[in-house]
Amino acid sequence: MQADKGISSMNQKKKKQLEARARIIKALAHPTRLFIVDELSGGEQCVCELTKMIGDDISTVSKHLSVLKQAGIVEDEKRGLQVWYSLRVPCILNFFGCIESVLEANAKQAREAVGR
């Protein structure tokens, strides 16, 4: 028994829960995908438009969108030739407030480390 690695003494349920959370957070953990989420906070966008803004190959953008969709962060709808993406769970945005305060704390500490 206990062939698994990590967090091994924990009950299986809590372990699954942590893995599920990590999958979603991982989906957000890329600059391009953060850009997309930020952009979609202003309303839906089609892949072509996002691709123009991002500047990567469209296949790369499409794969980023697929990661976000897979995680349940965005949803898509095909209309004619285009596919439109939108945020599925907008609270994702609050999220950034805290990230920002980590960054501020880091910056503050960096200033203090230099002497001011």
Partner DNA sequence: CATATATTTGGTTATTTTGCCAACTATGCA
Partner DNA sequence: TGCATAGTTGGCAAAATAACCAAATATATG
The contact set with DNA (CB under 7 A) reads 5-6, 26, 29-30, 32, 46-48, 51, 56-60, 62-67, 76, 78, 80-83
Does 56 help bind its own copies (rule: CB under 8 A)?
yes
Nearer to DNA, 19 or 100 (CB): 19
- 83 burial level (CB within 10 Å; 0-12, 13-18, 19+): middle
3-state secondary structure of 82: strand
Cα 15 from Cα 8, distance rounded (Å): 8
Q: What part of residues 66-105 is at the interface with its own copies (CB under 8 A)?
A: 71-73, 88-89, 91-92, 94-103, 105
Nearer to DNA, 32 or 96 (CB): 32
The amino acid that residue 79 corresponds to is R
- Convert 41-59 to b/e letters by CB count within 10 Å (16 or more is b): eeebbbbeebbeebeeeee
Sheet with 82-87: list strands edge to edge: 45-46, 82-87, 74-79
Of the candidates 8, 11, 12, 59, which one interacts with its own copies according to CB under 8 A?
8
Q: Which stretch binds its own copies (CB under 8 A): 3-11, 41-49, 78-86?
A: 3-11
The contact set with its own copies (CB under 8 A) reads 5-10, 15, 18-22, 24-26, 28-35, 38, 52-56, 60, 71-73, 88-89, 91-92, 94-103, 105-106, 109
